[in-house]
Structure 1
Amino acid sequence: MNVSERYRESWESYWRDTPDAPGAAIFDCAPELAAARHLPLLAPFADATLPVVDLGCGTGTQTRYLARHFPRALGVDLSEAAVAHARRADTGHLAEFEQLNAVDHAAVRRLHERLGDTNVYLRAVIHQSEPDARPAVAAAVATLIGSRGRAFVVEPLARAKQVLAHAAQGADGPPPKLASVFAHGLTPAEAADDAVPGFFRDLGLPVLASGETDLVMTEHRADGVRIDLPAQWLVLGR
């Protein structure tokens, strides 16, 4: 399958219009607030000698952190503009970055053939995907981890939508970074809570561990409170 042209262009335009400055994207938080908190949850299950793929890497902030803990780190994103951001930001050449459509099964299989089994980091991608594409994103995770890899998946819970709605109701409307998401036609927090683990169960991919956490954003409400989204996390593997 493929993503719609509207969806692809929404992400391309979003990343073209987003400055290079760290944290300019609403979800581009420091790794200390994301991957550094997630890796200890994955580590007991993962073979750290395998590569890691950051699926939906955006600016590559989390990829660069993961590169310090795995022998090879590859960040992939649907958007060419996002990949360009990530390459510019990786001044230390810690990771690799390339464009990949995660719902293109043939392209995902080719990546797996190149890398072998990998660990996968998937942060807040399924909820932003088009409904028909969400099972295919889960299938990409399953393909990439193969029999030896493990995946860490973190996605907003349904009640995150109320958090975003509350943030958007200030006297001046949504704060700038959230307004940019809406302006580009992106719709966060659209996946049902039970749907996310369900996509993986349907593929026969066991959930090895799970829990709740916060997805830390880089935007604040008018009262100065940071917008953090309630989320669920899963460790997956065969």
Structure 2
Amino acid sequence: MSVSERYARAWEGFWAESTGEQGEPFWDADPTLTAAPHLALFTAHVDRTLPIVDLGCGNGTQTRYLAGVFPRAVGVDLSASAVAHARRADRDGAAEFEQLSLTDLVGVRRLGDRLGEANVYLRAVLHQSDPVDRAPVAAAVALLLGRRGRGFVVEPTAAAKAVLQQVADRPGGPPEGLRQVRKHELRPAEVAPGELPELLRTAGLEILDQGGTDLAMSESHPDGTRVTLPADWFVVAATAAAGGRPGG
């Protein structure tokens, strides 16, 4: 199955016009506000001796942070321009980056075969994916985990739309990061309430832990406070039915 043409075109257009600098995209907050608190939620469940795969890594901001915690960190993204940005930004070669559509489950399995069992970080990817692509993306998580790997999935809730509208309606119009989201017809907060748990379970993922959080963005409100989106997070493991792979 191939990712929808609209989705692929939208993301390549976005990243091709971006400088790739950390903080430029609307969601590209510093890892101390994103990956670090997520890892704190993840840590009781995760085996840190396994590699980690950052799915939908974009310009690699979070991947580089994860590379300092796990023995191997691999960021994958649909967009060739995003991967090029990520490689340029990783001046120390801390992580690895490659272009891969998460709906290409043959390609995902090849990646899993190379890595062996792995942990997965999936931050705000499903809510942007077209509905037809969400099940394959969730299945990609299950394929990569194997028996020992654990996944951390965090997604804005439908309530995030109200926050985004507030930012868009500020005097002077939306900030440049949000303008770019709209220009390229990216679609935030499109997952319906209750959809995510069912999507994960159908993909062969067992939910080990879950909760609510605030997902930090790179922008601030006029009063200087950080823009955050209400989000749900899940720690998942692959069920036996999902075909957990042996360690590599």
- Measured in 1, the distance between the counterparts of 2:204 and 2:91 equals 40
- Partner residue of 1:112? 112
1:99-129 deviations in Å (ceiling 9; x for gaps)? 0100111111111111111000000000000
Q: By how many angstroms is 1:204 displaced?
A: 3.2
- Partner residue of 1:83? 83
1:144 partnered with 2:144? yes
- Partner residue of 2:157? 157
1:173-227 deviations in Å (ceiling 9; x for gaps)? 2221101100011010101131111111113311101111111001234454432
Mapped contact 1:26–1:177 kept (Cα < 8 A) = yes
Q: Which amino acid letter does the alignment assign opposite residue 108 of structure 2?
A: V
Report SS of the residue matched to 2:152.
strand
Mapped contact 2:128–2:186 kept (Cα < 8 A) = yes
- Measured in 2, the distance between the counterparts of 1:51 and 1:223 equals 40
1:55-134, aligned counterparts within 5 Å?
Answer: 55-134=55-134
Report SS of the residue matched to 1:12.
helix
- Partner residue of 2:42? 42
% identity of equivalent residues: 55
Q: Which amino acid letter does the alignment assign opposite residue 78 of structure 2?
A: L
- Measured in 1, the distance between the counterparts of 2:191 and 2:152 equals 17
- Can you give the 5+ residue segments of structure 2 that lack an aligned partner in the other structure? 239-248
Mapped contact 2:4–2:133 kept (Cα < 8 A) = no
- Partner residue of 2:32? 32
Report SS of the residue matched to 1:230.
strand
1:236 partnered with 2:231? no
1:85-111 deviations in Å (ceiling 9; x for gaps)? 100110111000000100111111111
Q: Which amino acid letter does the alignment assign opposite residue 129 of structure 2?
A: S
Q: Which amino acid letter does the alignment assign opposite residue 210 of structure 1?
A: Q
Mapped contact 1:127–1:156 kept (Cα < 8 A) = yes
- Measured in 1, the distance between the counterparts of 2:231 and 2:65 equals 21
Report SS of the residue matched to 2:102.
coil
- Measured in 2, the distance between the counterparts of 1:193 and 1:124 equals 15
- Can you give the 5+ residue segments of structure 1 that lack an aligned partner in the other structure? none
- Partner residue of 1:182? 182
- Measured in 1, the distance between the counterparts of 2:230 and 2:77 equals 24
